[in-house]
């Protein structure tokens, strides 16, 4: 398990909390496959993770746009940074099939980013949208 539900702060928006729980479930399943070095399973879950991240970010961005949230662009650009990292990592995975690199990314980059992004951007945004 990479991320525990209790490690992630609740924000003042039920939809966002639901998206976060869902993402934790997918990323933990992905992490288990990476730790097990199960190439086929990683191949299977990687696109699912990218899609799930896109639903998570895209839903928040749609809610921010609908509410004309003033910091929508800055919040979105933090999403875009992670979208790009995941896309690049997936491209490298397709060529190298290296679980070690993916494991390092999840443990050293994604995990910390996820907690910090929610604690800062999602928490700040939640009371101002939806």
Q: What is the contact surface with Fe ion in residues (CB under 5 A)? A: 60, 121-122
Residue whose Cβ sits closest to Fe ion:
122
Token code pair at residue 80: 């875009």
CB of 20 to Fe ion, least distance (A): 6
44 or 54: whose CB is closer to Fe ion? 54
Token code pair at residue 26: 């997918």
110 or 121: whose CB is closer to Fe ion? 121
Q: Helix 14-35 to helix 39-66 angle, to the nearest 10 degrees?
A: 160
Task: Kindly state the greatest CA–CA separation across the chain.
Answer: 44
52 or 60: whose CB is closer to Fe ion? 60
CB of 47 to Fe ion, least distance (A): 20
93 or 121: whose CB is closer to Fe ion? 121
Residue given tokens 């999840």 in the structure block: 106
CB of 104 to Fe ion, least distance (A): 23
Quote the CA–CA distance of 127 and 122 in Å, as a whole number: 9
CB of 79 to Fe ion, least distance (A): 6
Please say whether the beta carbons of 130 and 15 come within 8 A.
yes
Q: How far is CA 60 from the centre of its chain?
A: 12
């Amino acid at each position: 398990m990479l991320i525990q539900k209790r490690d992630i702060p609740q924000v003042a928006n039920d939809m966002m909390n639901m998206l976060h729980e869902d993402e934790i479930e997918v990323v933990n399943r992905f992490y288990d496959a990476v730790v097990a070095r199960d190439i086929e399973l990683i191949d299977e879950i990687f696109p699912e993770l990218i899609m799930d991240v896109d639903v998570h970010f895209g839903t928040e961005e749609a809610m921010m746009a609908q509410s004309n949230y003033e910091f929508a662009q800055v919040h979105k650009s933090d999403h875009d940074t992670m979208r790009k990292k995941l896309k690049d990592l997936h491209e490298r995975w397709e060529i190298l099939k290296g679980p070690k690199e993916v494991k390092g990314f999840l443990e050293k980059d994604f995990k910390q980013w996820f907690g910090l992004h929610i604690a800062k951007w999602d928490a700040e945004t939640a009371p101002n949208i939806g």
